[in-house]
């Protein structure tokens, strides 16, 4: 059962892989901040519906990962994840940007630091198979 949060399937796709205990969110086009809020709420709702799934693969290749407003909002949103799911969340971003390049953006670097303070883990990948392999190795 997926979340009750409503979003346009032309902008975002959400899937749960029960064999890997993994949520996959894919942005299919650039998204406004209002849309991102809806999409992330759908991810959280789906995670809760799937036994507090905490491993998320996020395909963000088609959206702007350097948007300051979105990064700032996500820093606030992510604070609730450990409490809502009963444990920290592990996010693998398939972004066509590897971790080293992502940390060169001060806003993304600060976001990753904030996530670590909360116990969450965020990592950026330029290959989906590498993102998936990393996620599946996380406790």
**pLDDT (tens digit, 9 = 90+) per residue, 63-118?**
888 888 998 899 889 989 999 999 999 999 998 765 566 667 676 666 666 656 67
pTM summary value: 0.85
**pLDDT (tens digit, 9 = 90+) per residue, 20-65?**
999 999 999 999 999 999 999 999 999 999 999 999 999 999 988 8
The CATH number of 12-137 is 3.30.750.24
d(Cα 8, Cα 113) in Å, to the nearest integer?
31
Give residue 95's pLDDT: 86
């Amino acid at each position: 059962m997926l979340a009750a949060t409503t979003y346009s399937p032309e902008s975002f796709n959400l899937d749960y892989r029960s064999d890997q205990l993994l949520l996959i969110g894919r942005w299919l086009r650039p998204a406004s901040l209002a849309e991102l809020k809806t999409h992330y709420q759908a991810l959280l709702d789906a995670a809760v519906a799937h036994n507090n799934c905490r491993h998320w693969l996020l395909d963000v290749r088609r959206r702007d990962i350097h948007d300051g407003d979105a990064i700032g909002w996500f820093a606030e949103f992510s604070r609730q994840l450990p409490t809502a799911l009963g444990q920290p969340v592990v996010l693998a971003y398939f972004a066509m940007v590897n971790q080293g390049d992502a940390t060169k953006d001060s806003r993304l670097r600060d976001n990753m630091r904030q996530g670590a303070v909360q116990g969450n883990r965020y990592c950026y990948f330029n290959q989906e198979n590498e993102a998936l392999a990393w996620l599946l190795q996380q406790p």
